[in-house]
Structure 1
Amino acid sequence: MSILLDLRQAVIHKVHGKDKDGLREMIEGSIDAQEAALPGLGVIFEILWKNIDHTKQDELLTILDQQLAQIEMKPLK
Structure 2
Amino acid sequence: MNLNLRHAIMQNISGNSQEELRETIVDAIQNGEEKMLPGLGVLFEVIWQNCSEQDRQEMVQVLESSVRK
TM range (shorter): over 0.9
Distance 1:20 1:49 in 2: 17
Relative contact order higher in (CA < 8 Å, ≥ 6 apart): 2
Q: CA RMSD in A?
A: 1.0
2:14 corresponds in structure 1 to 16
Post-superposition offset of 1:64: 0.3
SS in 1 for 2:68: helix
Distance 1:10 1:16 in 2: 10
2:5 corresponds in structure 1 to 7
- Compare the two structures and name the one with the higher helix fraction: 2
Amino acid in structure 2 at the alignment position of 1:42: G
> Structure 2 length normalisation: TM-score?
0.93
Check if 1:61 corresponds to 2:60: yes
Distance 2:24 2:2 in 1: 20
> Structure 1 length normalisation: TM-score?
0.84
For this pair of structures, how many residues does the alignment match?
Answer: 68
Post-superposition offset of 1:31: 0.7
Q: Matched residues, percent identical?
A: 34
Amino acid in structure 2 at the alignment position of 1:5: L
Runs of 4+ in 1 over 3 A off after TM superposition: none
